[in-house]
Chains A and B, each alone.
Chain A
Amino acid sequence: MNSYVWRVIKSGVIILGLVLASITIRVNAQEPIRIGVLLPVTGPFAKSGIEALEAMQIAREMINERGGIKGRKIVYLQGDATNPNAAISETERLITKDGIKITTGSFASPIAIAVSQAAERYGVFHWETTGAAEIITRRGFKNTFQVGAPARKYSQAAVDFIIEDLSKRLNKPVKDLRIALLWENRAFGKSVGDGVRLYSEAKGIKLIYDEGYDQFATDMTPIVQKLKDVQPDVLIAVSFPNDAILFQRKAKEFNLNVAAFIGVSAGYSSPDLRASLGDMVNGIFVSDFPPKVNVNVLKPETRKVADEFYKRYEDKFKRPPAGHAAASFSAIWALFTEVFPKAKTFEPAELREIALKLDLPEGTLVNGSGIKFTNFDWPDEPKDAGQNLRAAIGIWQWTKIGNEQVFPPKLATREAAQVPLPVWSNR
């Protein structure tokens, strides 16, 4: 009898042990997937960095509400990448202290350059959402994937728009159009500026003005004066918000009129622009991530995700997301739904293999992008591993009430309007 009780106790203990073990294993299985999110939430880039973060937080909520990835929740560990130095130390902190193996972010090109460098050094998988400078994926890094468009796409969109659309609307052959280029002289602006120069040369267009400036400049008088001297028909300007506002005000003050104005990215796509400039923004074209594309281009299941994202974002922040916010959402959502489900170990090498095999047609991501990364076997650009060949970049236009995608025709929600741009006294 005693031995029977003993046996019952023993088997009970064993069963209990097994149950406990299985619970532990299940707990392990449900351990969250931790991602290091490197974005500037303080400092000069904070405005856009926070907007990108907000969009990525919505993506995390949405995926976790759907049960996470194979039962594992997504957790963000944040690093404040105020500037390149901070970006490096914050990335290293997340990697060495918290054992992060996947990083993402980081809004601005100089920060993306720094984050990806630190991640690469530790063999960490870096999923770059919006950083655009070409150099990000031209250093032979193995683990950096640039989901947003590389800078030359911003440039090409602007130049293609002039050739295929504006020149007809302005009734002038492209070779007779006077095209000027103004770029802020840090990583992003320079990269886009270089792209415009090279691409327009390739298309046989000669720029009548081509100059860089410091985005922290406090006086735009000399630049506006120079542009008045050369009288461009079309002006392409690569700017950040503060300098974009200063420039537009000075242009109005000096009555600098152009037939079409194409702003590139952050400065001209920032929602602040209307708050600061009011109706002065109407008619300005913007070459950037599309804030919202023609739904017809999206795959049916993407449309549902897009509806949910836009609704959540607008309900929460009482304004529509900017292009870089929509792009941040698109990129991180692709990581959650296209890369992670195929992963078993979540080790960088495995994630890299999955990423390089991705072949998603345009319209798979909420902002109209698809994903097809270049890899080391790519013949033309051997170092472009991880540039997304199907990132969507187009031209949209500020309108009286919001904005409309106008180019390329496939993504467009409306045709370009206000060409030529009314002179300042009529705007």
Chain B
Amino acid sequence: MSTLGQLVFSGILIGGIYALMSIGLTLIFGVLRIVNFAHGEFLMISMYGAWAITHYLGFNSYVAALAIVPAMFLFGALVHRLIINPALDKPHLVVVFATMGLSIFLQNLALMLMTADLLDVPPIFSNSITIGPFFFKAELLLGFALTILCTIALQWMIRSTYLGKAIRATVQDGEAAMLMGIPVPRIFLITFSLGSALVGLAACIMLPLFSVFPTVGLNFVLIAFVIVVLGGMGSIEGAMLGGICIGVVQSLSSYYVAPAFGQMFFFILFLLVMIFRPNGLFGQKGASLIGMND
């Protein structure tokens, strides 16, 4: 019983981390209707940034977030300006190839500049927290709490602020939004930057848990894509729950079936959701079509 509990708790916590890493992707997908294939590499460069701050300036990686999040916001703006925006009105495949090209470029740039060495930061808390028979890594608990906080803040922003309303209007009907005086291109720019900033935050939280190397993004980006689709493309709380689902399914199936099948099981879950709820667990009907008609 305690084993089952441990597995479920661990699954939820790691799932929270997966979710945080996917929220940026889902936000960008939900608003711009593009899939950023360089998402994993955004994570990777943010992790390198956080590592550099930790390593050279001696701050811990949570403090590094104060610099990395705004830096990634600017980086996102730059990428949007140079790569995404020019490709937006072209056929859909152009964005796919553009972001894929960016992904390969960033990976190899990192390889040249940082070499293939695995880099780590020293653990922030030296021991894990023991509650009854359960073990928790403090960094993981903290990461989970921050993910929840982040989800709530983002939801509030989307629902209650003027910017959020403008984003929602853009999602519902870009043309009408533009006629109402909403600067849609700027909303795209802000959303893309915001999505990138969120990856930056995720990176700072993940750095104490995972090593960083040029292809680290590849290990996570597949999970992120599954979470985004599972949660309903563009849904933030969906991504949260999707992440937790993946974490728990992976944890339980790896233990009770075999570790080699962990990934297979969450893809089975993914296929089932696709068959029975094609819009994802929380996606609105036709979500993937809104915005493409204009």
Contact = CB atoms under 8 A, between A and B. Distances in A.
Check if A and B associate. Answer: yes
Interface of A: 42-44, 46-47, 49-50, 185, 211-214, 216-219, 221-223, 225-226, 229, 241-242, 245-246, 249, 252-255, 270, 272, 275-278
A276 B211 contact: yes
Interface residues of B, number: 43
Most buried by B among A43, A218, A225, A275: A218
A275 B120 contact: yes
Contact of B220 (A218, A226, A245, A253): A218
B250 A219 contact: yes
Interface of B (DSSP majority class): helix
A89 to B, nearest CB: 16
A278 B126 CA distance: 12
Q: What are the 5 tightest A-B residue pairs by CB atom distance, in nearest-first order?
A: A222-B254, A47-B116, A46-B116, A213-B259, A222-B255
B262 interface: yes
Given A212-B258, A212-B260, A276-B118, 5 more contacts: A213-B254, A216-B218, A219-B14, A219-B250, A275-B119
Nearest to B222: A216
B211 A213 contact: no
19 contacts: A42-B108, A42-B111, A47-B115, A49-B116, A212-B258, A213-B254, A213-B259, A214-B262, A217-B262, A218-B210, A219-B250, A219-B254, A222-B254, A245-B120, A272-B117, A275-B120, A276-B119, A276-B211, A277-B120
Interface of B: 3, 6-7, 10-11, 14, 18, 107-108, 111, 115-120, 122-123, 128, 135, 137, 209-211, 213-216, 218-220, 223, 247, 250-252, 254-255, 258-260, 262-263
A3 B223 CA distance: 90
B227 to A, nearest CB: 12
Contacts of A278: 122
B14 A221 contact: yes
A269 B135 CA distance: 29
A49 B216 CA distance: 17
A252 B118 CA distance: 19
Contacts of B111: 42, 46
Contacts of B10: 219, 221
A49 B137 CA distance: 33
A410 to B, nearest CB: 33
A52 to B, nearest CB: 12
